[in-house]
A and B are shown apart, each in its own frame.
Chain A
Amino acid sequence: MRLKDKVTVITGGARGIGEAYVRRFVEEGAKVVIGDILDQEGAALARSLGAAVRYVHCDVTKEAEMSTLMDAAVSAFGGIDVAIANAGIVESGSIMNTSDAMLDRMLAINVKGVFYTCRQAAERMIAAKRGGVLINIASTVAVLGEVGEGCYPVSKGAVTALTRVMAVELADHGIRVVAIGPGGTKTAMMADATPGSERMKRIEMRTPLRRMAEPEEMAGVAVFLASKDASYITGQTLYVDGGRLVLNMVMPERA
């Protein structure tokens, strides 16, 4: 149990990789408060995991709702040790076709939502004078371009910059701010990447480990970053990408 009694707020924790963070943190002994707008899934997940988990409805684009989420963690479990800013949306299609409304929505959820999560959690961590860890969720496309993901990569680039700025601003309060940059991960968002499909072939060709990640493989990295083992890491984004970012061309064809 590497996170015994650590109080952790996880946005977008009702499903996907967010759900994997919730489950793994509970296994490691943490008390978890899920913030999401998927009330049915979030509440059911919290119920199934018992008294260590609460669900709170939270639209991350509303700072007042974020404040309520953080207050719920403090009143239920006595403080906040870790916050994972995981809620995010994707876009598909050419950025040339991205509508104003889409860009606004993307930046509101993926950037402003992360900003509010960090700020509201950090305010309480500073007041409690016990430090803490903020983990933002970026993406490999924070540093790469991609044809067909609209303005999503732009939003993730902003998340890595937010991580750096929050890290240097909060360092003297004993708060570490880090990010995870997942590569292709098996979630509902990637449902069309079935074995043998064109999408899967594309992914394998550009992934040295030649497979998508399991959500649990992101959760293991989050546990490390939240733990004392990462006590000298701040400001960095850890890319958990099966080797994608270090590959120049494509992998050789399989024999």
Chain B
Amino acid sequence: MRLKDKVAVITGGSRGIGEAYVRRFAAEGAKVVIGDLLDAEGEAVVRSLKAEGRDAVYVRTDVTKKAQLEALMETAVSRFGGLDVCIANAALADYGDIMDTTEETFDRVMAVNVKGVFLTDQAAARRMRAAKRGVIINIASTVAVVGDNYEGCYPSSKGAVNLLTRTFALSLAPYGVRVVAIGPGPTRTKMMEDAFNDPARLKSIQARTPLGRPADPSEIAGVAVFLASDDASYMTGHTVYVDGGRLVLNYVMPERD
């Protein structure tokens, strides 16, 4: 139990990689507060954790609304007595050519993926700064640093998450609060299901992934546990890319049998 009694707020924790963070943190002994808009799924995750004897709570949270994030963080403090870790995970994807991205989609992706992380970090950081400890983990992506032809303005939003991570890291370093990010590569979630079920897309993903397979959500969650733990006590400001080798591969991998 590497996070025994740590209090962790996780936005977008109702499903996908967010749910994997929630389950792994709970398994490591953390008390988890889920903030999401998917009430039924979030409540179901909490119920199943309680059935395993873990402590968790779900709070309906729209990450574009400052007041709701304040309420989310307050729940962590009032229910569990503090706030040790915050994972700003809630995000939207965009699909298609960026030339077809509408102004409405752009505004919405930026509101959730960028302003949502900004408001989440600020709300968590105010409490951590006062307590002089804590870890904030933002969720970026490999496309924070590489371009993509079919994800619209999503990569732009993740690039901004990297910069939020660096800037919050510098602001909070004097208070002993660390701010880091994870940049996942392709991961087996509902968001990516269509891509993995399409043989041509899957082949192109594998060709550009040295490890030759998408990640399981649990493989991203293990990195979050590390970053939240004292083993990462000298790391701040950085994004850890968990991408099966994608970012270091020039061209494609040789054909595999």
Q: Which residues of A contact B (CB under 8 A)?
A: 163-164, 167-168, 171-172, 176, 183, 208-210, 213-214, 217-218, 220-221, 223-224, 227-236, 238-243, 245-247, 251-252, 254
Contact = CB atoms under 8 A, between A and B. Distances in A.
Interface stretch (B53-61, B74-82, B219-227): B219-227
25 contacts: A167-B248, A168-B249, A172-B210, A208-B236, A209-B176, A209-B236, A210-B173, A213-B234, A224-B226, A224-B231, A227-B222, A230-B226, A232-B216, A232-B219, A233-B241, A233-B243, A234-B245, A234-B248, A236-B240, A238-B240, A240-B235, A242-B173, A243-B170, A245-B237, A246-B238
A212 B174 CA distance: 14
A242 B234 CA distance: 5
A164 B241 CA distance: 13
Contacts of B234: 183, 209, 213-214, 217-218, 240-242
A243 B167 CA distance: 10
B237 A243 contact: yes
Contact of A231 (B222, B236, B256): B222
Contacts of B169: 208, 243, 246
Given A210-B173, A230-B222, A246-B237, A235 B247 contact: yes
Nearest to A208: B173
Contact of A208 (B210, B215, B231, B237): B237
A232 B211 contact: yes
Given A168-B253, A221-B231, A238-B238, 17 more contacts: A167-B245, A168-B249, A176-B211, A209-B176, A221-B232, A230-B222, A235-B210, A235-B247, A238-B235, A240-B232, A241-B238, A242-B173, A242-B236, A245-B237, A246-B165, A247-B170, A251-B173
Contacts of A217: 231, 233-234
A214 B230 CA distance: 12
B244 interface: yes
Contacts of A218: 234
A238 B226 CA distance: 12
Given A220-B230, A224-B226, A232-B215, A171 B253 contact: yes
Contacts of B211: 171, 176, 232, 234
Nearest to B170: A208
Q: Which 5 A-B pairs have the closest CB atoms?
A: A220-B231, A229-B222, A235-B248, A246-B237, A208-B173
Size bracket of the B interface:
35 or more
Contacts of A234: 210-211, 244-245, 248
Contacts of B16: none
A243 B232 contact: no
A254 B174 CA distance: 9
Contacts of A235: 210, 245, 247-249
A24 B232 CA distance: 14
A224 B232 CA distance: 9
B85 interface: no
Contact of B235 (A167, A221, A223): A221
Contacts of B222: 227-231
Nearest to B24: A229
Given A168-B248, A234-B244, A234-B245, A229 B225 contact: yes
Contacts of B226: 224, 229-230
Nearest to A211: B234
Contacts of B152: none
A243 B236 contact: yes
A224 B233 CA distance: 13
B210 A167 contact: yes
B242 interface: yes
A171 B231 contact: no
B108 interface: no
